[in-house]
Amino acid sequence: MSEFWADIGCEIHAELSSLNSKLFCCCPITYGAPPNTATCPVCLGFPGVLPVVNEKAVEAVLKVALALNCKINPVTKFDRKNYYYPDLPKGYQISQKYLPIGYDGWLEIYVNGKAKRIRIADVHLEEDTAKSIHGEEAGDPTATLIDFNRSGVPLCEIVTYPDMNSLEELEAFMVSLRQLLLYLGVSECRMERGQLRFEASVSLRPKGSEKLGTRVEIKNLNSFRAVLGAVEAEIKRQKEILISGGEIVQQTMLWNEALKITEPMRTKETAHDYRYFPEPDLVPIVFSEFWLNSLKAEMPELPRQKFERFMREYGLSDYEAGFLVAIPVTADYFERATKVCKDPKAVANWMLSDLQGLLKEAGKSWEECPILPQNLGEMVKLMQDEIISVRIAKEILKEMFVSGKSPKQIVEERGLVQITDENELKQIIEEIVAANPKAVREFLSGNEKVLGFFVGQVMKATKGKANPQLANKLVKEMLEQAKVKAS
Ligand code: ZN
Ligand code: MN
């Protein structure tokens, strides 16, 4: 009786922040600029102004639709979504209702190695509203100020079917979608800047039942954590109502992060009456075969394809490939470094462990990595050529991270070339053996572990420059000789 299925859907608004200008005017797309400095009569919604479509925005949404395996409407057009709010001075938002750019697509997600397709209902282009700044943030607890810099910024809206049945699937979907948008280069997807905004819908139904339950929407979720927290709380709330014999009311909720509960925003009829009608100031857009084909040719390699290619072409594990393709910048970094040294496994290892560690410590992102990929590749090459040891490589990595110098330059400046000369090493080992008679006696009495001590001393004496394999071999030889002499 108390067993329920959750059906979760998503609506995503992605700002096409990588474009140079807004959707219907030439104003730049800014973040953090002084309020109302990136505006003009068009995006301020003055009466009588005429919108002109930004072709790049249409192409960006078309690419998203293609990447989401959507059908493309050969003719697409804009519609007015009418409602009144201070951040929307025209009294309507120019959006797409009847002929969106894309529809009926899917995105494949992977949870515990199992693939699942989340169906996409609709991918369309619309304009963003201005931003309301309330209370304290506005410098006056009783005031609301409006910043029109965001007004008219192109948004790609993506609507899914309620195909996700768990928080794990929801998270996998959000991560995959963000990854896809980053790969397409249409949005920077910085959630803290509102460039990627999620709304979720949640309904429950008794397990085994085919009929979807009454859905509740949750708005204004500005981080993955907020989405997951809100949906988890909403599932719990609905479950409790259903178990106690109550009924779910169709409504829109807001997430209260502090109390970890969802709270009603407004009750909702079956649908808002936005009185959508065709935008009379914009002509429909026809996608010619030529335009579509040239855009298809421009499509980058998508995350899943890259993931599979990395395993196939470079022999990486799924963990390594997954880490590297997570964002385009690491995938790119990896391939550039590998080109130099032709040792993909080693590059992946350095990136996943030491370099990732240095970045974390410095609070830097991969975009800000001070080591050029060519330099990491060169460092791996120096190791392959036995010019430096692993230990020296670790030191060089740290120095490259600080100075940005090339590994060759560091090796030359600091005289870090590995000692591979047998005679030079033998001399050093002889001195160490002579200085540690007690350890030698221990070795003679059968304690083989002392070998490690001697090799350690050699590395110390050479500041890590001794070739470790060679040092190991020579120490062994010399102690064996001592054994022969002693017997
Ligand atoms: Zn403008
Ligand atoms: Mn919308």
Output the pLDDT for position 266.
Answer: 64
Domain range summary for the chain, segments of one domain joined by +? 4-291, 301-414, 422-486
Centre of ligand 2 from the C-alpha of residue 159, in Å = 9
Structure tokens at 333: 């970094």
Query: Residue 153: is it exposed, middle or buried by C-beta count within 10 angstroms (0-12/13-18/19+)?
Result: buried
pLDDT at 269 over 60: no
User: In this structure, which topology does domain 422-486 adopt according to CATH?
Assistant: Arc Repressor Mutant, subunit A (1.10.10)
With contact defined as beta carbons under 8 Å apart, do 232 and 167 qualify? yes
pLDDT at 2 over 80: no
Centre of ligand 1 from the C-alpha of residue 150, in Å = 9
Q: Residue 36: nearest ligand to its CA?
A: 1
The single residue listed with the structure tokens 């002509």 is 283
Output the pLDDT for position 319.
Answer: 95
Centre of ligand 2 from the C-alpha of residue 317, in Å = 40
pLDDT at 211 over 50: yes
H helix runs in 366-414, sequence order: 373-384, 390-403, 407-414
Centre of ligand 1 from the C-alpha of residue 148, in Å = 9
Angstrom distances, CA of residue 59 to CA of 69, 299, 371, 391: 15, 11, 34, 50
Q: Residue 81: enclosing H or E segment and its boundaries?
A: strand 79-82
Centre of ligand 2 from the C-alpha of residue 157, in Å = 6
Output the pLDDT for position 235.
Answer: 97
Per the model's pLDDT, the better-predicted residue between 40 and 2 turns out to be 40
Q: CA-CA distance, 76 to 125, in Å (whole number)?
A: 10
Q: Residue 120: enclosing H or E segment and its boundaries?
A: strand 114-127
Average pLDDT (323-349) is: 97
Centre of ligand 1 from the C-alpha of residue 45, in Å = 9
pLDDT digits (tens, 9 = 90+) for 118-173: 999 999 999 999 999 998 888 888 999 999 999 999 999 999 999 999 999 999 99
pLDDT at 1 over 50: no
Centre of ligand 1 from the C-alpha of residue 39, in Å = 4
pLDDT at 267 over 90: no
Centre of ligand 2 from the C-alpha of residue 143, in Å = 26
Centre of ligand 1 from the C-alpha of residue 79, in Å = 19
- Reported confidence tier of residue 452, pLDDT bands at 50, 70, 90: confident
Output the pLDDT for position 242.
Answer: 95
pLDDT digits (tens, 9 = 90+) for 65-107: 999 999 999 999 999 999 999 999 999 999 999 999 999 999 9
Average pLDDT (34-54) is: 96
Average pLDDT (326-353) is: 97
pLDDT digits (tens, 9 = 90+) for 395-424: 999 999 999 999 999 988 888 777 888 888
Centre of ligand 1 from the C-alpha of residue 381, in Å = 52
Roughly how many angstroms between the first and final C-alpha of the chain, as a whole number? 83
Other Cβ atoms within 10 Å of 170 Cβ, number: 27
pLDDT digits (tens, 9 = 90+) for 233-243: 999 999 999 99
Q: What one-character-per-residue DSSP string does 260-300 give?
A: TEEEEEEE--SS-----EE-TTS--EE--HHHHHHHHHHPP
Q: Residue 25: nearest ligand to its CA?
A: 1
The string over 13-42, giving b where at least 16 C-beta atoms fall within 10 Å of a residue's C-beta and e elsewhere, is bbbbbbbebbbbbebebeeeeebeebbbeb
Centre of ligand 1 from the C-alpha of residue 152, in Å = 7
- Reported confidence tier of residue 29, pLDDT bands at 50, 70, 90: very high
Centre of ligand 2 from the C-alpha of residue 125, in Å = 9
Centre of ligand 1 from the C-alpha of residue 434, in Å = 82
Amino acid residing at 130: A
Centre of ligand 2 from the C-alpha of residue 193, in Å = 17
Average pLDDT, the chain: 93
With contact defined as beta carbons under 8 Å apart, do 12 and 194 qualify? no
